[in-house]
Every structure is written in C-alpha cells, then in structure tokens.
Amino acid sequence: MKILILGTGYLGSEIAFSLSKTHNITCIDHGNNSSKLNFKNRKIKFFQDDLKNENLIKKLSRDVDLICYCINTGGVVDCLENSDLYKKINIDDFKKLLKLIDNKKCNFLLLSTAFVYSDSEMNSEDCTPNPETLYGKFRFEQETLLMKSNLPYTILRMSNIYGHQHFFDAKFNNVIDKFILNIFSNREISLYGDGKQLVDFVHIDDFLNILNQIVSKKPKNEIYNISNESRISINDLAINMKNIAKNKYNLSILLKKQSDTDKLPNIPYTSTSKIQKNFSWKNSDNMKSRLESIFEELKNS
C-alpha cells in the first residue's frame, strides 16, 4: 500500500517507521526529523516542504491509497494561549488541504482527540460530541470538515500516547519525559495547575499495534476511540514516578504545584468497546513497568 504521512513529529515519525515495514511510505514535513528517518529506514521517501505547497500536495496525493494526518495541532493549553494560530492550523489550513487532494478514492486517516467529547459520561463513538475546551472544538470542527469532504475517512479519537520505540529523543516535551528528566537532573517536579486533572495514557507499542491493523483493513467512514479506559491524576502520576526514583535510583524529588487554584480539564472518559469488537485491542495494565523502562531509556540517553 502507498501511504502519505503529513507531519513527522513524535507520532508521525513512529508511524512512518512502523508502517514502512510492510508499506511504501512518503512523508512531508518541515524536516526536523528527516535525518533520523533516513538513518533509521532509507526506504522512507521524505519531502522537506510545507503543506502549503499546493503542487506538491496535489502530486503526491494523486497516487496513494492512504493519507495519514499527523500535524501538530496543539493541545488544551496551546489553544488557550495562542487561539489564532491553532484555529488557523486546525481549521483554515486543514480546509485548504482537503481541497487540494485530487484522489477521492484514497482513505484519509485523521488522528483526533478524546477532547471532542464532554467529561460528563463514558463516551462511545455513538455519543454526540460536545467539546468543552477550545482545543476540542477546533478538532471537532476539523472532523466535520473531513466528513463533508467526500473523502473516505477513518477518525481515531485518541487519549495521550506515551513511551518510546524508535525516536524516543523526539518526545522530550511530554509530561512523563519532562518529569523523568527533571528527576535525573535533580530538579523538582512542577505540576501545572492543581494537579488534579485526569489523564488517560496509551503506550506507543499498543497504539502502533492497533494502527497497523486499522491501516491494513482500511475501514471507511468509521470513528474509533483509542484509550486505556483508566484515568490517573497528574498528581498521582508524579507520586508514582517519585516513588520509582526513590526505590530504584535513591533519588529524593520534591513535587511543586505551580498553582492550587488553576484547574485544567480532565481528558474525557471514552469507551473502547467498538475497537475491541472490530480489532484485537486490549487495554494495557502494566503502566508501572513501562514507566520503569522509560526511566532506564532516559537515564542512558
């Protein structure tokens, strides 16, 4: 299968490398990870360019079976702090991109977010999205644009992806890696807000496993939730990592809340019953051992 991947940040790079084992992969990105991709797998074709290059998008999309959208769309805090930029990326630029795709038979795979739902209940794919954050509203509008584009689509409403596989050094900006790097640098762990917000983590190995199945099956006009169905507060996550640091490395670390009044939203609770039914998806229950593995990886990096 011929696959075009748009964006090669953390997830885009991992997806490109994983899918390149069985598919022909072409990537477009600004180029920060191009040398790593070429070094790891020279079968991947890489175009260092911008998605605003209309001729390139038209040319490359004309002869592919799948387009995978992995552009950095920001997050909850990003969209609050720079709403104009992320509206442009998520809505304006995305709308232009869809119009450039000549090949109406290729499947468009959109990595979306669980934040399109509200946090009031367990959300299945049949629930009507009701985003409570600006980020969720941007991403739901993006989904709506795709559904109206007449392109066959698959939408993955995802929780937080964590862990390393081939390009772990590119993920140093996520909360888990930041906490661990602070620990090994003998710095305190700073919690943004009151630390009570709930997050749901899916390991990169689990995600790539299910992604490969979805890509091979190419379900058309389907939406799937991808989560662990288990949320943990940022505060409890930090305590778990503090305990690993003490028990395994004899490091004593302080936890510091930047503000007891600021409250960040929980990631909405999502059901994975649909993806369990259609694919061999299993919720992971070994986060502690995986955290310990990341400690070792970053300690030796």
Query: Which pLDDT value is given to residue 195?
Result: 85
Residues 84, 215, single domain; the answer is yes
Would you place residue 188 in the very low, low, confident or very high pLDDT band (cuts 50, 70, 90)?
Answer: confident
How many structural domains compose the chain? 2
86 and 54, same domain (yes or no): yes
Question: The CATH number of the domain where 258 resides is what?
Answer: 3.90.25.10
pLDDT at 209 over 70: yes
Q: Is residue 81 part of a domain?
A: yes
Fill in the amino acid letter for 267: I
- Looking at the structure, tell me whether residues 291 and 222 fall in a common domain: no
Which residue type does 242 have?
K
The 107-113 sheet, strands edge to edge = 45-48, 24-29, 2-6, 66-69, 107-113, 153-158, 222-226
Is 107 within the bounds of a domain? Answer: yes
For residue range 111-133, list pLDDT tens digits in order: 999 999 999 889 999 999 999 99
With respect to residue 98, please indicate whether it lies within any of the assigned structural domains: yes
Q: Which domain holds residue 290?
A: 172-199+231-267+284-299
Asked if pLDDT for residue 245 goes beyond 80, the answer is yes
Mark whether 156 and 16 lie in a shared domain. Answer: yes
> Would strands 231-233 and 198-203 be described as parallel, antiparallel, or unpaired?
antiparallel
